[in-house]
A and B are shown apart, each in its own frame.
Chain A
Amino acid sequence: MSKELIRLHNLCMAFDDELVLDNINLYINDSEFLTLLGPSGCGKTTTLRIIGGFTTPTSGDVTFDGVRINDVPPHKRQINTVFQKYALFPHLDVFENIAFGLRIAKVPQAEVEERVKEMLSVVSLVGFENRRIDQLSGGQQQRVAIARALVNRPKVLLLDEPLGALDLRLRKDMQNELKRIQQQMGITFIYVTHDQEEALTMSDTVVVMNKGRIQQIGTPEDIYNEPKNAFVADFIGESNILNGTMVRDNVVKMYGREFPCVDGGFAPNEPVDVVIRPEDIDIVPVEQGQLVGTVTNVTFKGMQYDIIVDFRGFKWLIQTTDYSPEGGRIGVRIEPEGFHIMKKSEYSGMFGDYSSYSEEYEELADAGVEDEEESEDEE
């Protein structure tokens, strides 16, 4: 087990009486790739800025290697940051941008050259030394920003939505690249994103946040397979979230019917939230179905069809490779492993119903998220 490097203890942050972080407790191990994941305004960037030293928490402690660093200014922390919009120095070329931290540390010229060269090869930018920043593409600027931070050999690298401005293709490439760099350098990465796929792809540990609170901490598999509440289930991937009753261990009741499942540890007849992933639902002929519903919408997604099925007024999302016509009646079966049972939480009933599902709606929601991110930066 690797050793603990950073600990956030009862961390609270308020801006003008508005609680942005509410009692955050988190420890981060050495050489770990940890992702803070959540919608905009969830406090993930604030958490990162506190670790970086740009913001002082209202209360609570930040310790680094066991030492409290609340009041240590950013330039004295062994932590470097890759900023959301890269924040490269426009008056310096690529070489001098990367060398910036070394120059301040008064590293001898020969060593500066050696280390910058080494970094350029790590981020695959050899030969770009004398380019001006405005002559680089977004992806290249991104790499310079990473090299500029890593050349100082920090113990921790903070990354604030570093791939947000890149197109999809480049984003996928950079995800692999970042993971490779992290493993090659063997240092801790703390990564902030609102993109759940990015988080699942790269991280050792994912911290899901919402409204200034940590919702769940776990490996990507844990988070996806065993979401702790409706918010996490909805935010990570697609989920149908239904009201149910845990009759006894391994039996859950929905729609007045009992289904076998593999969860336990609840009080008898405890009301619960039941999560069913759209890909865990099998479509079967009506007479063999555990439940029978009407298809109300079919969308071709390339790898699969997204179909919306109405089960007594509650609309489910099902992902399937078999085409079912709109208006048709279908039966569904769900394996016991397909049910994920969660205790009721403040989020119960807020997510997991696909009644308002439509493609346009999804796109609008995405655009909204990005706009909010923009305004968050300008503060």
Chain B
Amino acid sequence: MKNKLSRFSVPYVVWMGIFVVAPIIIMVIYAFSNGEGGFTWDNFAQMGAYGSVFLRSFKLALIATAVCLLVGYPVSYWLSREGASFQRIAMVLIMLPMWMNFLLRTYSWMTILENNGLLNQLFHKLGIIALYNNITGSEIEYFSMIGTQGAVVLGMVYNYLPFMILPIYSVIVKLDGSLIEAARDLGADSVTVFRKVILPLSLPGVLSGITMVFVPSVSTFAISRMLGGGTELLLGDLIERQFLGGAYNPQLGAAISLVMMAVVVICMLVMNRFGEGEEQAVML
């Protein structure tokens, strides 16, 4: 087969080469070299020490993805059954936060979750903290929310939920209404219609939603640093430290990045295999 590139694709190819392929090659070279530029496996050997960080990252990303799915699917489903004008407004509201930089949004979560932040002040005013102290006999001044894994998961869910809702919604809303009527006609009650028709046909949306939430969650570093208070070290933070922090070690950083990328790619391949035959997967 002749695979001649049109001349209009040249800028794109050059761009991809410089900003996608070259960095990956550089990363691979770094990952397999020591400080003097010689070949080594040491970087990967060192990684064993960070197993807990890997585990924590994947655990939090999985939890965040699961929460997004549990919240996002019902939202998408109910939304798709509402009137057209309501759907439009709801879509804008769901997208609206995404038009703001996510660092800003995460900062605002800091002010909400801080020990003397908005939420704790509210609890104080409402007497919830006093009530809690009365019941448990403790003497806390605030609920510590910031700096916990829960806060990190909350940050991920808040930031990435739209990426779960949008693909699922767009698949469900495009479902042919006559398929649902056909299922009812063939004896299915609404639960069966959902289980045997709507759910299987919305799987492509679910798969791409999971991908779009899980991948950024597993590599996030700003959220964990701001909401995890630096105590909950995640992969993203670990990599960042190798390049910018006191633990300067770009070779190790590259190796960790490479492994993370490999794991993510494997996860995605497995997922795509699982969803094979559902070509209509919606990629945004």
Residues of A within 8 A of B (CB): 52, 54, 73-75, 79-81, 83-85, 87-91, 100-101, 103-105, 132, 148-149, 152
Contact indicator B184/A75 (Cβ below 8 Å): yes
Contact indicator B187/A87 (Cβ below 8 Å): no
- For chain B residues 179-215, which have a beta carbon within 8 Å of chain A? 179, 181-189, 192, 196-197, 200-201
Contact indicator A104/B201 (Cβ below 8 Å): no
Contact indicator A83/B201 (Cβ below 8 Å): no
Contacts of B189 in A (CB 8 A): 73, 75
Chain B window 252-275, contacts with chain A (Cβ cutoff 8 Å), 1 for yes, 0 for no: 000000000000000000000000
Given A87-B176, A89-B197, A90-B201, are A105 and B182 also a contact pair (CB < 8 Å)?
no
Shortest A188–chain B CB gap in Å is 16
Contact indicator B184/A80 (Cβ below 8 Å): no
Shortest B3–chain A CB gap in Å is 28
Contact indicator B187/A83 (Cβ below 8 Å): no
Given contacts A87-B182, A103-B196, 10 further A-B contacts (CB under 8 A): A52-B185, A54-B181, A73-B184, A79-B185, A80-B185, A83-B181, A91-B200, A100-B196, A105-B187, A132-B277
| Chain A residue at minimum C-beta to C-beta distance from B180 | A87
Contact indicator B192/A104 (Cβ below 8 Å): yes
Confirm or deny: B178 has a beta carbon within 8 angstroms of a beta carbon on chain A: yes
Contacts of A75 in B (CB 8 A): 184-189
Contacts of B183 in A (CB 8 A): 89, 100
- For chain B residues 82-100, which have a beta carbon within 8 Å of chain A? none
Contacts of B200 in A (CB 8 A): 91
A88 to B183, CA, bound (A): 9
Contact indicator B185/A104 (Cβ below 8 Å): no
| Chain A residue at minimum C-beta to C-beta distance from B179 | A87
Contacts of A152 in B (CB 8 A): 186-187
A83 to B181, CA, bound (A): 9
A88 to B185, CA, bound (A): 12
Shortest B24–chain A CB gap in Å is 36
A103 to B192, CA, bound (A): 11
Contact indicator B186/A87 (Cβ below 8 Å): no
> Can you list 13 A-B contacts with CB-CB less than 8 angstroms, sorted by A residue number?
A54-B181, A74-B181, A74-B185, A75-B185, A75-B187, A80-B186, A89-B201, A91-B200, A91-B201, A101-B186, A101-B187, A104-B186, A104-B187
A342 to B42, CA, bound (A): 100
A83 to B228, CA, bound (A): 55
Contacts of B197 in A (CB 8 A): 89
A74 to B178, CA, bound (A): 13
Contact indicator B185/A81 (Cβ below 8 Å): yes
Shortest B198–chain A CB gap in Å is 11
A175 to B200, CA, bound (A): 34
Contacts of B185 in A (CB 8 A): 52, 54, 74-75, 79-81, 149
A356 to B156, CA, bound (A): 69
Contacts of B182 in A (CB 8 A): 81, 83, 87-89, 148
Contacts of B201 in A (CB 8 A): 89-91
Contacts of B181 in A (CB 8 A): 54, 74, 81, 83, 87
Contact indicator A89/B187 (Cβ below 8 Å): no
Contacts of B277 in A (CB 8 A): 91, 132
8 closest A-B pairs by beta carbon, nearest first, are A101-B186, A87-B178, A87-B182, A104-B187, A74-B184, A81-B185, A75-B187, A91-B200
Contacts of B186 in A (CB 8 A): 75, 80, 100-101, 104, 148-149, 152
Shortest B269–chain A CB gap in Å is 21
Shortest B31–chain A CB gap in Å is 42
Shortest B203–chain A CB gap in Å is 8
